[in-house]
Amino acid sequence: MTNVLKEQIREIQDDVIRIRRYLHQNPELSNHEAATSRFIQEKLTEYGIAFQTGYAKHGVLGIIKGTQPGKVVALRADMDALPIQELNDHPFTSNYANVMHACGHDAHTAMLLGAGHVLQQMREQLKGTILLVFQPAEEDSPNGGSKVMLDDGVFAEYTPDVIYGQHVWPDLPVGQFGIRDKEMMGASDRFEITLSGKGGHASMPHQTNDVMVAAGHLITSLQTIVSRSLDPLEASVVTIGTIHGGEAANIIPNQVTLEGSIRTYSPIIRKRLKERFFTITNQVAQVFEAKAAITYLDGYPATINTPKWANVVKASCTENKWRNTKCKPFLSRRRLQ
């Protein structure tokens, strides 16, 4: 059976590469994946895989029924792109300005279609049902497509006993799989801070409460949350991703806006970090006699794998001994993605 499976994978490999490159050239942002959804439906039809639509606008559920009774296993891939301008020079770069598959969702979708093709050919040997979950709007945290798909009843007819997802990982060499049986990816919260005060001329800073200087102090102060307010054995990250303020070199602005991201694993650490974030932001603003307006979005919870099912994957990729393939447990390197 292993040799047959290998041969089927080799047969579909080139098609999976073509699919990935096509999707990379034609990315769509969260909640706008209409063309991507149609493409997925066309490929499922080509492969003879039944499917359902109507979940989270553009979500698709492929259904592969084995010939023998058994449980339900769901395989999931995301399909949306990011608002990023691609700067690569590959022949399959994005055709659209400021839209790019920079997080690998094109690869995820292509791989799931490939897996569906192989499993459909093997359905005579399958026990139970396999669901192919193509999820839109993964990047639309905290109200992403997974929750909407569930609200729309994606599992109303078939309730999975286990759901597997995978994510490309550039740090791993080609041919290796990374597996953790506990924490895998961190909770992802986002924030926006607008500091407001009195602006003025650069030559007379004493007549202002300089929000640009306040922003500088705030960026540094927020980093002390992880280094001084949290357990050093618990992973967490506070990142400032953007800062916007000012229009001229000789003018102190009256407003500066910062945006960033917070990643954690433990709910206790997540709660503590958020409390310190608000306290430090408001008190730094007070020191400079400025005002702080905070928008804080509680994003997705951390991805915590079930050891039982993680070990099934580990056993599979080690026992089958795929040529040029290794299974690498993530013993200490977790990703606060």
Give tens-digit pLDDT for 145-156: 999 999 999 999
81-105: average pLDDT: 96
Structure tokens, 334: 């977790």
State residue 94's pLDDT score: 98
Give kind and range of the element (H or E) at residue 241.
Answer: strand 236-245
pLDDT digits 0-9 by tens, 51-76: 999 999 999 999 999 999 999 999 99
- What is this structure's pTM? 0.87
Q: What is the pLDDT of residues 35-55, one digit of tens each?
A: 999 999 999 999 999 999 999
The per-residue pLDDT for range 248-264, each reduced to its tens digit, is 999 999 999 999 999 99
Q: What is the pLDDT of residue 328?
A: 57
How many Å apart are CA 98 and CA 202, to the nearest integer? 35
Return the closest-CA partner of residue 163 out of 327, 317, 306, 316: 306
Torsion of CA 336, 181, 122, 5, to 10 degrees: 90
Q: Which residues contact 225 (CB under 8 A, 6 or more apart)?
A: 236, 238, 273, 276, 277, 280
Looking only at the bridges linking them, the beta strands covering 326-329 and 176-179 are: parallel
| 8 A C-beta contact, residue 191 and residue 270 | no
Radius of gyration of the chain (CA): 24
Which residues have CB under 8 Å from 28's CB, separation 6+? 34, 35, 36, 79, 80, 81, 99
